[in-house]
């Protein structure tokens, strides 16, 4: 894999030299006026022999730059281009389920799954045309090309963006890609790509102050700088590389720019801060945290503060919820009722075995919150504080709380209240050791989770149904 020559770096930290390693996927980030377009133009000049530009806005451009959609499709319709057309067909039909593309009498035609109402590509929507253009243009790029993509999300539906580019990158594994985008959602979700943050341009010596970000985490400064789309923000727990949160919630809530912040406390604080500054930026902001062991009163308080809290204890329980299991069973051609019945029995049995431990953990959580509230008072002297602390055991009544919770949990187990158990059962090993993946025909839990997320990346009935089932848990 060839290296990429990057523009002159004015920051003096040798980032340009470091960037010459053979990275394959780059995303250019930067706000208005940072010199990002000039930076892309400079990359094209420095890598002129391999540069191949792709833009859904500007069609016919000169040498080594792609032409219009009609020109591209004419080339792909030729008999000698059958292999590349079949690649286009696979990517297109996966990204836009329900639409089949074929060559009929030497021209590309689109029809639905019923085989009726064949139409020309001219009749496609603007988003569908953009998607078809991106696929065709990249498939026709020369071998080992440096593909420069201007505005990769332009005209595309949010649910189509990631699956489209992931498949194109896979089909052209011999090529390198540079994406120029103002879309904060696209930038923050591309954890597999090396980001180049362009901070400013120095016209005097034709250089840029920029930083290479390889760990997938975008600094808050660049994230806020890029929010030109004015899309509402959803702050979540977890990170961009290891947790499920980012992967799941970006497809469950495609209308949001999802920003993982790590801890639940940071999510709550960041949402509060963004809300308090609303008059300055006018961007809607929400948070999303696990329910964990919060009481109903705590949950209602958070929801009133624009913090979404699901009706399950933790994110893993979403994948055990009835709606998700039954939908995935239908997709996998399994018996939904039979699979759900087996998982219900397994989870309820595990919960019954851990009743006391769960009640104790919930009690501990409530005591900790109550102590924080009750001890946060004004005291005139240390003696008053000491007396207050000594009296807490009588005021908090931990055993009474424990007995009450244990009774509630036993009732859930006896009555088979599966949804209630998912709401209070915090035990991550329950999900990883469960048989849900096997019953649904997956090799392991990771494959099951990835499949759920993959389904929602499409634009079809299954994606919408699955998305709605998960969103119900937040209503």
Neighbour-count burial of 64, counting CB atoms closer than 10 A to its CB (0-12 exposed, 13-18 middle, 19+ buried): middle
Distance CA 433, CA 445 (A): 8
Q: Are 344 and 456 in contact (CB under 8 A)?
A: no
Coil vs helix vs strand at 110: strand
DSSP secondary structure of 375-404: HSS--SSHHHHHHHHHHHHHHH-HHHHHHH
**Residue whose C-alpha is closest to residue 288's, from 261, 319, 323:** 261
**What is the Cα gyration radius of the chain?**
27
Angle, CA of 23, 25 and 27, to the nearest 5°:
120
* Cα-based torsion angle of the residue sequence 318, 320, 323, 326 in order, rounded to the nearest 10 degrees: 150
Helix (H) or strand (E) holding 197: strand 194-202
pLDDT at 18: 43
Neighbour-count burial of 283, counting CB atoms closer than 10 A to its CB (0-12 exposed, 13-18 middle, 19+ buried): middle
Q: Is 129 left (phi over 0), alpha (psi -120 to 50) or beta?
A: alpha
Query: Mean pLDDT for each 10-residue chunk of the chain (475 residues)?
Result: 83 48 78 81 92 74 53 87 92 87 86 72 85 93 93 83 91 93 70 78 87 66 54 83 84 87 87 73 84 91 92 95 96 95 96 95 88 68 79 80 95 96 93 94 94 88 93 91
What φ, ψ does residue 279 adopt, rounded to 5°?
A: -65, -25
Q: Are 108 and 72 in contact (CB under 8 A)?
A: no
Retrieve residue 205's tokens: 């010596």
**Residue whose C-alpha is closest to residue 50's, from 175, 149, 226:** 175
Coil vs helix vs strand at 120: strand
pLDDT at 14: 41
Residue 413: CB atoms within 10 A of its CB come to: 18
Retrieve residue 302's tokens: 């958070």
Distance CA 92, CA 82 (A): 15
């Amino acid at each position: 894999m060839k290296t990429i020559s990057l523009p002159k770096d004015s920051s003096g930290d040798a980032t340009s030299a470091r960037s010459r390693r053979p990275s394959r996927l780059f995303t250019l980030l930067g706000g208005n006026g940072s010199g990002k377009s000039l930076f892309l133009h400079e990359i094209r000049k420095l890598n002129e022999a391999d540069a191949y530009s792709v833009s859904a806005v500007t069609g016919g451009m000169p040498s080594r730059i792609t032409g219009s959609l009609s020109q591209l499709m004419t080339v792909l319709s030729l008999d000698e281009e059958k292999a590349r057309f079949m690649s286009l067909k696979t990517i297109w039909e996966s990204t836009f389920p329900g639409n089949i593309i074929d060559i009929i009498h030497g021209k590309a035609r689109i029809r639905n799954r019923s085989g009726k109402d064949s139409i020309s590509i001219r009749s496609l929507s603007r988003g569908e045309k953009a998607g078809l253009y991106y696929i065709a243009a990249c498939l026709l790029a020369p071998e080992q090309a440096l593909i420069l993509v201007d505005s990769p999300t332009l005209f595309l539906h949010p649910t189509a963006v990631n699956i489209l580019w992931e498949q194109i990158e896979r089909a052209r594994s011999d090529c390198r890609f540079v994406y120029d985008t103002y879309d904060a959602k696209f930038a923050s979700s591309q954890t597999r790509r090396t980001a180049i943050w362009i901070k400013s341009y120095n016209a005097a010596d034709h250089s840029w102050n920029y930083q290479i970000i390889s760990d997938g985490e975008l600094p808050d400064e660049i994230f806020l700088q890029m929010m030109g789309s004015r899309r509402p923000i959803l702050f979540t727990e977890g990170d961009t590389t290891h947790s499920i949160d980012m992967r799941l919630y970006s497809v469950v809530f495609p209308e949001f720019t999802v920003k993982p912040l790590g801890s639940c406390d940071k999510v709550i604080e960041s949402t509060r801060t963004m809300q308090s500054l609303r008059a300055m930026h006018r961007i809607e902001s929400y948070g999303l945290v696990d329910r964990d062991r919060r009481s109903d009163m705590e949950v209602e308080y958070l929801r009133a503060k624009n913090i979404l809290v699901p009706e399950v204890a933790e994110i893993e329980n979403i994948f055990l919820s009835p709606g998700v299991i039954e939908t995935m069973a239908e997709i996998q051609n399994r018996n939904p009722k039979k699979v759900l019945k087996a998982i219900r029995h397994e989870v309820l049995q595990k919960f019954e075995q851990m009743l006391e431990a769960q009640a104790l953990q919930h009690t501990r959580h409530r005591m900790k919150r109550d102590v924080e509230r009750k001890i946060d008072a004004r005291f005139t002297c240390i003696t008053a504080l000491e007396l207050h602390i000594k009296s807490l055991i009588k005021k908090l009544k931990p055993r009474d709380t424990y007995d009450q919770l244990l009774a509630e949990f036993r009732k859930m187990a006896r009555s088979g209240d599966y949804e209630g158990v998912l709401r209070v059962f915090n035990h991550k090993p329950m999900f990883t050791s469960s048989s849900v993946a096997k019953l649904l025909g997956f090799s392991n839990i990771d494959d099951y989770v990835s499949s759920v997320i993959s389904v929602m990346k499409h634009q079809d009935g299954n994606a919408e149904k699955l998305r709605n089932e998960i969103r119900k848990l937040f209503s």
